[in-house]
Amino acid sequence: MGPKSSKGITDNMSTMFLSALSVSRFDGKKLLVIMILISVTLTVESQLSMVADFIPEQLASTTGIAAFIGIWVIFTVMQYYILAYVKQNNRNSKARTPMLNLMHRIVTVVQFLLVGIIAMNILQILLTQQYDTVLLYIAMSISYGLWIVTLGLLAKAFFSWYKLKKNLMVLIFAISMIAYVINGFFGLYGQIDELGKRNLVITSVDVAVFPESPSTILTVYQTASAIAYVLTWIATVMLLRPYIEKLGKFKFWTIMGVTMVYYLITFPLFTLGYFTPSENSNAMTNILIFSLSAVFTGILFGVTFLSVARTLKIGTPARNYMIIAAYGFLLFYIAGSALVFQAAYPPYGLISVAFTGFSCYLIFNGLYFSAISVSQDASLRQSIRKSVMEQSKLLDSIGTAEMEREVQKVVLTVAKKASAAMEEKSGIETSMNDSDMKEYLELVINELKSK
């Protein structure tokens, strides 16, 4: 498992990395390819981290080490692309947020610091066939710290925003962000606590160790995760409500229900010993099956925001922010499922953990401005309803289609002015296009006519 066999791989991948740095422009298809690649890579790495105690010899082999290095290179290159895309979108946006560029610079420094820490870990393995767990402590603290700070800022923004506009969806997202912050805090605390029980230096003959039963800290961590998931699930249903009829109620609720059960059942099964090797010879298979629930959850939440993004004009910052939020949730649930306290050799799970904080930044960047758009939709609907009510004298005697068209013309003019004013003030478009406004207007008119 010596360094000579891995040197050729690292040289080739370094060339890939240098060529990738020359690319600075992006489109939706290129970003999609990047996200698929990093999602698959992190899924493989996080799943290997979950079963590291079953396959220590394979992971410690030359192939296992080479694969870990390859995953690190992909992680490095792909995060460069994603950071550049977010920076480009921030530059194109008119949003008035002085802290946006500063935060982006901080996140960029943090992520490449994590790249360097993992590189040091790889060098230790290649040169000495061992590594110091202090590198794991540092990487976890940095990434989880970024998780806690970014989602804490997002929660604060949501609560301050809710005070101004009593929007239920905003409140749900605000509470869910608090749950995610608690989840991140106890996740860091729990992993540090468990890692403290491992050797300070991990060698190629050491086997990854998982606790046979969850500690109190890990129980709190899982509870906060479940609460955050349920709240996000509720908000997701609210966001997807316009699509329920198109998809079909039975199919929609089946997908949403099965996904929730699949995700929430994992921890209870763990506490019952369902994943304990000594009690169940199929534990490895069980772990892989149920740990994939995080992947499906990320896909579900990601699809939600991509669905909303499709209603916006291609190339607009508002659409791009929705896409960023979608990918942020996808990567957060994939990377967040990884563990590093088991101290595998090499430390599978470390790369996914290093991506967790970054995925939270994507959620912050995308969800904050996506929420502005959603809130503006609510305000715009309220403006349309108010305008229709002001025209109610005409509606009282509505008897011809021409009369109804006149009402629609007046109300839509008011609505478009309100939409333009909202965009001018925040720099973010609403997700409602002209067709959506007309559809909602007809709904309000029909309600009044039925009364």
Query: Domain boundary residue among 343, 368, 393?
Result: 368
Query: Domain boundary residue among 345, 368, 391?
Result: 368
Instruction: Tell me the C-alpha distance between 173 and 161, whole Å.
Output: 11
Structure tokens at 131: 């590594």
Residue 143 lies in a domain: yes
What is the phi/psi pair of residue 164, to 5°?
-85, -40
Average pLDDT of span 13-25? 43
Are 342 and 403 within one domain?
A: no
Are 173 and 234 within one domain?
A: yes
Are 298 and 384 within one domain?
A: no
Residue 123 lies in a domain: yes
Q: Which helix (H) or strand (E) holds 94?
A: none
Are 391 and 444 within one domain?
A: yes
Are 361 and 391 within one domain?
A: no
pLDDT at 120: 96
User: For residue 287, which of 64, 48, 68 has the smallest C-alpha distance?
Assistant: 48
Provide, rounded to the nearest whole percent, the portion of the chain with pLDDT above 70.
62
pLDDT in tens, 176-214: 899 999 999 998 998 998 899 899 999 988 888 887 766
Are 411 and 363 within one domain?
A: no
Query: Domain boundary residue among 349, 368, 387?
Result: 368
Residue 305 lies in a domain: yes
Instruction: Tell me the C-alpha distance between 69 and 303, whole Å.
Output: 31
For residue 23, what are the domain limits? 4-368
Q: How far is CA 10 from CA 66, 88, 414, in A?
A: 8, 30, 61
Identify whether 346 is preceded by a cis peptide bond (ω within 30 of 0): yes
Structure tokens at 417: 């002015």
Torsion sign over Cα 210, 211, 214, 216: negative
Are 346 and 402 within one domain?
A: no
Residue 53 lies in a domain: yes
The residue type at 332: F
Average pLDDT of span 114-141? 95
Strand partners, 130: 203
Q: How far is CA 413 from CA 353, 379, 423, 425, 429, in A?
A: 50, 15, 16, 19, 17
pLDDT in tens, 45-55: 988 888 888 88
Residue 244 lies in a domain: yes
Are 297 and 150 within one domain?
A: yes
pLDDT at 37: 93
The residue type at 434: D
Provide, rounded to the nearest whole percent, the portion of the chain with pLDDT above 90.
28
Q: Using 50, 70 and 90 to split pLDDT, how confident is the model at 58?
A: very high
Are 299 and 445 within one domain?
A: no
pLDDT at 133: 94
- The dihedral formed by the CA atoms of 145, 148, 154 and 156, expressed in degrees to the nearest 10: -110
Count of domains for the chain? 2
Are 115 and 231 within one domain?
A: yes
Residue 256 lies in a domain: yes
DSSP string, 289-349: HHHTHHHHHHHHHHHHHHHHHTTSPTT-HHHHHHHHHHHHHHHHHHHTT---TT--SS-TT
Instruction: Tell me the C-alpha distance between 34 and 121, whole Å.
Output: 25
pLDDT at 80 over 80: yes
The dihedral region occupied by 313, where left means phi > 0, alpha psi between -120 and 50, and beta the remainder, is beta
Are 122 and 165 within one domain?
A: yes
Q: Using 50, 70 and 90 to split pLDDT, how confident is the model at 5?
A: very low
Residue 279 lies in a domain: yes
User: Which range in 179-188, 311-320, 414-423 is most confidently predicted, on average pLDDT?
Assistant: 179-188
Residue 373 lies in a domain: no
Are 13 and 105 within one domain?
A: yes
